[in-house]
Amino acid sequence: MTHSEHTPSGELDAGQWSAPDADHDMTPPDGNAWDLLIIGGGTAGLVAAKTAAGFGASVLLVERDRTGGDCLWTGCVPSKALLAAAHAAADARAAARLGVHIDSVRVDFAEVMEHVRLAITTIEPEDAPAALRAAGVRVVHGTARLSGPDTAVVDGATITFRQALLATGSAPAVLDIPGLADADPLTSDSIWQLDHLPPRLLVLGGGSIGCELGQAFARLGSQVTIVESAPTLLPREDPMAATMLFAAFAEEGIAVGNGGKVASVSRDEDGRSTVSFSNGTLRVDAILVAVGRRPRTRDLGLERAGVDTDERGYVVVSDRLQTSNPRIWAAGDLTGHPQFTHTAGVHASTAASNAVLGLRRTVDTATIPRVTFTQPEVAAFGVSPHQAAAAGLTVRDIHHDHVDRAIADDSTRGITRLVLDRKGRVVGASIVGPRAGESLAELVLAARHGLRARPRRRDARLPHLRRRCLEGRDRRGAGRFDQPDGRPCHPGARLGPAPPRLTLNTDDRLTTVKCWTASRPSSRPR
């Protein structure tokens, strides 16, 4: 694999830099140094800039292409917009199973791409230079390069900074396969320029991008083949999740070659490509390469500034997101952390706060959620179920064919797998099914707060200050209040010196507490 440093600017460029109020002056307000120089205006750069400016720091953000970065122009926004159209087509085709017959489903690819572009241009003003300026950030169009421990050069001009944040993101990795470059392969940067649906699409890589875009194009009408070099799709996920996704893909006609590798590619005279594998060939109209990403850290002058990278080129950061140069911080895809827009945002805000205010906030990497927005969705965080046993943890499986909501929706292909520690606390989860991402959010919250998932009969102690019982039962009638001496509680009963106990057959503590509105609260039990 080699780096792709392609700058994805294209026809979607909203002319961000031609605004009459565009800045060219890079002189800091105090005439000496910027409090924070930010290189890169994607999710990480935008969040860091607004955070630091909000603290009153002087902030200069330098972006060489378009503010908004991958998420807005080539990543989350266009891919989710495309998936919305693709899933709508598939839902319409499948509606007959619920008794709703939609006789003909026609996909107009040009209109679908128009929807994708509209989503981008609707969101763009939030990320535009004008929005940054309104937040007090100086933003300039140019390519920045570090030139020393506290200096950078932007298109020939030298800038001095007190602190800097690197947020240059990542770019699609390209494959070194004989003939592939001549076949003009698509990447997640260039696929958004397509104006015709490719009749036959080969996707190299069955990770998040390969699965999401592979399913999207299949549902819009392409004949899709996904070749994944690992033994399963989504190899970072729980194998059970990968197997379920594989089955869903097979059912809708997506060919998946797990453990496959392309040997060579040749461009045919008609513009199509013949792809050779060890066991045969495939003729396709387009090839999408989605085999991971590489950090945009080349040509950033990192050595001059004393910023270390790892063997793959990612900037090495501490848990406070500081690099080996204490003045320089990094956040987002160019660090080795999970490459998600929410990670970029949270880490950028932490790094900017640490840099500008001198705080020592650290980032949590144990509970970062991830969601692949295929149908079914695949969502996970923390310890994976298939690693649980080795870590002395237990797994609790809930198959969705026993879940009423899934049965009602006729979408029972799915599973929720909870990884629990010895006290029953959630330390990881993997969910396959509709709205898996939304369901995961509750579990992440549970993990962050050390909550237990184990259902059991629980004796909940009531606060000492409650002296008179208002209700003998909890509101749902699911549990009964008793005094420790065996006397039952009933509305109006005086309570003894020891707190009464509530026996519940669920573990819903909040409901328990609400049931007990004291008539005469007192801080001391009598």
Ligand X SMILES: NC(=O)c1ccc[n+]([C@@H]2O[C@H](COP(=O)([O-])OP(=O)(O)OC[C@H]3O[C@@H](n4cnc5c(N)ncnc54)[C@H](O)[C@@H]3O)[C@@H](O)[C@H]2O)c1
Ligand Y SMILES: Cc1cc2nc3c(=O)[nH]c(=O)nc-3n(C[C@H](O)[C@H](O)[C@H](O)COP(=O)(O)OP(=O)(O)OC[C@H]3O[C@@H](n4cnc5c(N)ncnc54)[C@H](O)[C@@H]3O)c2cc1C
Residues that bind ligand Y in the complex, under the rule CB under 6 A: 39-45, 62-65, 69-71, 74-76, 79-80, 143-144, 167-169, 188, 209, 296, 300, 332-333, 339-342, 344
Cβ at position 234, least distance to ligand X in Å: 7
Segment contacting ligand X (CB under 6 A): 141-149, 289-297, 379-387, 420-428? 289-297
CB of 79 to ligand Y, least distance (A): 4
Number of residues binding to ligand X, judged by CB under 6 A: 26
The residues, ordered by sequence, that sit 6+ positions from 372 with a Cβ below 8 Å of its Cβ are 208, 211, 212, 234, 237, 245, 378, 379
The binder of 40, among ligand Y, ligand X, none, by C-beta within 5 to 8 A per type, is ligand Y
Tell me which stretch binds ligand X (CB under 6 A): 7-15, 91-99, 226-234, 353-361. 226-234
- The tokens describing 118, both together, are 């509209």
| Helix or strand holding residue 87 (H, E) | helix 76-94
Coil/strand/helix, residue 218: helix
How remote is the C-alpha of 183 from its chain's centroid? Answer: 31
228 binds, among ligand Y, ligand X, none (CB under 5 to 8 A by kind): ligand X
For ligand Y, the nearest residue by Cβ is 42
Nearer of residues 435 and 473 to ligand Y, judged by Cβ? 435
- Among ligand X, ligand Y, none, partner that 205 touches (CB below 5 to 8 angstroms by kind): ligand X
295: contact with ligand X by CB under 6 A: no
How does strand 286-289 pair with strand 501-504?
unpaired
Min dist. Cβ of residue 154 to ligand X (A)? 28
What gap in Å lies between CA 202 and CA 222, rounded to an integer?
10
CB-based closest residue to ligand X: 207
Report what 227 binds from ligand X, ligand Y, none; CB cut-off 5-8 Å by kind. Answer: ligand X
- 487-526: contacts with ligand X (CB under 6 A): none
Among ligand Y, ligand X, none, the one that 332 touches (CB under a kind-dependent 5 to 8 A) is: ligand Y
239 near ligand X, rule: CB under 6 A = no
Structure letter (DSSP) for residue 505: S
139/191 with CB nearer ligand X: 191
Of 393, 399, 510, 382, which is closest to residue 447 (Cα–Cα)?
Answer: 382
- Quote the CA–CA distance of 489 and 475 in Å, as a whole number: 14
Choose among 28, 40, 193: nearest CA to 110: 193
The packing angle between helices 109-127 and 76-94, to 10°, is 140
- The contact mask relative to ligand X for 72-111 (x = CB under 6 A, - = no) is ----------------------------------------
204 binds ligand X (CB under 6 A): yes
Q: CA–CA separation, 495 vs 514, rounded Å?
A: 18
329 counts as binding ligand X under rule CB under 6 A: no
Q: Are 504 and 479 in contact (CB under 8 A)?
A: yes
| Strand-pair partners of 257 | 227
Amino acid at 230: A
Give the per-residue contact string, 164-203, with ligand X (x = CB under 6 A; - = no): -----------x----------------------------
| Residue 467 contacts residue 495 (beta carbons within 8 Å) | yes
Partners of residue 148 on adjacent β-strands: 151
Among 160, 130, 144, which residue's Cα sits nearest to residue 36? 160
Which residue's CB is nearer to ligand X, number 128 or number 289? Answer: 289
Tokens of 454: 């184990």
Q: Which residues bind ligand X (CB under 6 A)?
A: 175, 204-210, 212, 227-230, 235, 261, 290-293, 338-340, 370-373
